[in-house]
Structure formats: C-alpha cells, structure tokens
Amino acid sequence: MENKWFRIAGTLCFGLFVAYLDRTNLSVALPSLSADLGIDGAMKSLVLTIFLIGYAFANVFGGICTRKAEPKTVVVLMVFIWSLATFCTGIIQSVFILLAFRFILGVTEGVYWPQQSRFARAWFSTNELTRANSIIQYYGQFMALALGFIILTPVYDAFGWRILFYITGGVGLLIIVPLYLKMLKKNDDAPYKEVMDENGETPKLTLKSLGGPTFLMIVFTYVTQGMLFWGITLWIPMVAKSLGFSGIQQGLASAAPYLMAVVLAVPISYISDKTCKRSLIASLGLIIPGLLLVTLPVVEAPVVKMGIITIAMGYYASSFTPNIWSIIQKTVEPHAVGPASGIVNGLGAGGGGTIAGFLVGYMQSVTGSYMAGFVVLGILVILGGISLFMYGKIKSKEIKMSI
C-alpha cells in the first residue's frame, strides 16, 4: 500500500489549508470591497457571518445526508463548487451576489467537513487516529490561520480584492480538485472501511449508533470550544490593536496563538496516541485555558495579557482539537462517523461560533474592553471541559462493564 500518511492525510491537509484561505480572504479584502460595493453597518456584519450560518446547517444535514455517499466524490464536488464561487466573487458588482457566494462557501465547506472524519476512520487504526486527525483536520487549519494573513495581505495590497478572489478560487479549481482526483482513494480500498449490515445496506442512524445519550455531552463540550475558538479568532486582530500592538507587531501577535498550537500539536498528539488518555488530555485542553482567560482582568501589562491569550489558545488547540475527533471516531459506530462529525461541528463551530462573535462584540461595547468577553468564554469552556471529563469517565465505566 502506498504511504497513507502522504496520500490521504497529507492531501487532505493541503486541501483544508486552501479551504481556510478561502474563508479568511474576505477579512483581508473587506476594506476596499466594502467601499466598492457600498457595504456598511449591519450589512457588513451579515457579510462576515453568513458563511457560518450556511456552515452550521450544512455540517449537520450534510453529514447525515451524505453518509451513504462515497467520501471522495463528495469532497471533490464540494471543493469544485466552493472554489468556483470564490473565483466568481472576483467579478461581482452586487452585495447580494456576494452574500449568495459566501453562503454557498459555507454550505459546501460544511458538507465537506464530516468527510474528513470518514477518511480518518477508514484509513487509520485506533492507535493512529490522533496523529491522523492532527494532519487531516488540524495542521491545514491552524497553519492557514497562522500564515493566511501573511500570504493574502501582500497579494491584496499589490493587486486589489478582485485578484485575491481569482487566485484563491483558482488554486482550488486548478490544483486541489485535480490533486484530490489523483491522490485520494475510494472507501472500498480503505483497510477500515465502513461496512454494511447483513442486508448489504448502511445501518440506520440512531442515537445509540452515535454513542447513546452521552453524545449530547460531546455536543455541549464542542459548542463551548466553538465559542472559545471563534470568539477569540474573530476578534484577535482588534484585541492586539487595543493592547497597543500595531503594524508587523499586531500581525505577529495575532498569529502567535496559532503558531504555538502548531508547535505543541506534535508532542501532544504523540502522547495521546501513546497513552490513549484522549478524554483527559482534551478536557484539560479546555479547563486550563479557561482558567487562564479568567485571570485576564487582573493582569495589567499588555504583553502579559497577549501572552496569556497565546498560551491559552495554543494549549487548547493542540490538546483539544485533534483528540476530540479521535474520541468521536472511536466511540461512535463506523457508519455514524460522518453524521456525528457534522452534528458536532455544525452546532459547535457554526452555532457556538456565531453566538460568541456577537457576545464578545457586545461585551466590548458595554465595558470598553475585550477582556470581559474573554472571561465569559473562559467560564463556559471550563464547563465544557468538565463535561468532557465526565464523558470520559462514563465511557471508561461502560467499557469495563462490557468486559
């Protein structure tokens, strides 16, 4: 068998990197795009958040509706559609067409996301899952967040916003789609492929196949982490600016949490697969950062505040993100991996992220500081970590009772 780490994990990592560039290009292009199309006030907020609205619903319903479909076919089709929508954004003259294209981006990336878990579950053994998820669903995401503004901003400054969308959309159409067609393999070729029931059909999706009532604890946990991730990620450039950072310092301060996450993921993923203490490691990946964020109001020095945010986000992302997908892939039935991933990511990233974006903005308008909103996020994510810790205890007890 060819190297699955390169062929499957590496290819999907590169694809997710480009997907996140397609998500963040609007943030870079927004100043001149808004001026050209006359976007201001509430419409600007809608332009920024409509992606998450489509993303939330598509993760949930896309994960369920595509569970019988070939994952390779789904990801190729989704990349093609969202890349075409991104490319065509470069020619728009209307804000309503922009909203339509960003909604399409959210829907197609939402349908795409659960397929990554299907690939991980089908191609990698239980003892490889955390490392596999680190590559498939982690490095592309956080490398794009760390480097995306560094890559996209000079292009925007040199050529303008229309060229920015032509380039990012063109990369998907001309590079990622052909790469996926050549490198990815079908489910039938996978060593741990999804299996049919005795009638040759995909088993029915039930709460039991999702892991039982405790699956709701996972959903709650992921909603709190979605609030943490998006609540900070959406606002961190403005947070850095409010703390006195500007120019290149502001860019580096904004990127620091994600660069730290990439560095820490290597040892933590190895420890997770070696010890299989994924629930404990992931729950601490929420509780410890939450406690750090709660201390922000009592810290005076801006550099120290930024340091706390960096450590909290870096540790959270490297400890929680790869492990939660391994936990889901291991505890739900194989045919339910896609739907479970879609439900969790849709409600967590889409729903929780949208709420957190408005929450932090509202708290800032009331208090004059972003720190108040971050403290609320810290408290919520501590509760999410406790929920995941209890989930791990319950699952361990169920395993012992079944032996």
> Following DSSP, what letter does each residue of 199-244 receive, concatenated?
TSSPPPP-TTTTTSTTHHHHHHHHHHHHHHHHHHHTTHHHHHHHTT
Is 203 a domain residue?
no
More confident residue, 247 or 232: 232
Is 192 a domain residue?
no
User: Residue 1: pLDDT band by 50, 70, 90 thresholds?
Assistant: very low
Same domain assignment for residues 348 and 402: yes
The three-state secondary structure class of 1 is coil
Same domain assignment for residues 163 and 222: no
Is 107 a domain residue?
yes
Is 204 a domain residue?
no
Question: Each residue of 245-276: pLDDT tens digit?
Answer: 876 787 788 888 888 888 888 788 888 878 88
Is 270 a domain residue?
yes
Q: What is the pTM of this model?
A: 0.81
Same domain assignment for residues 178 and 266: no
Number of domains in the chain: 2
Question: Each residue of 103-157: pLDDT tens digit?
Answer: 999 999 999 998 998 898 889 988 888 888 888 878 888 888 778 777 887 888 8
Integer Rg of the chain from CA: 20
Question: Each residue of 69-79: pLDDT tens digit?
Answer: 899 999 999 99
Q: Are the beta carbons of 21 and 144 closer than 8 angstroms?
A: yes
Same domain assignment for residues 222 and 91: no
User: Residue 53: pLDDT band by 50, 70, 90 thresholds?
Assistant: confident
The letter for the amino acid at 264 is L
Same domain assignment for residues 33 and 175: yes
Q: What is the arithmetic mean of pLDDT over 370-385?
A: 95
Same domain assignment for residues 58 and 179: yes
Quote the tokens at residue 58. Answer: 């598509």
Distance CA 326, CA 313 (A): 20
Same domain assignment for residues 149 and 180: yes
Task: Output the domain CATH number for residue 86.
Answer: 1.20.1250.20
Give phi and psi for 123, each to the nearest 5. -110, -15
Is 201 a domain residue?
no
Domain around 296: 210-403
| Closest residue by Cα to residue 251 from 238, 264, 265, 232 | 238
Same domain assignment for residues 53 and 21: yes
Distance CA 22, CA 33 (A): 15
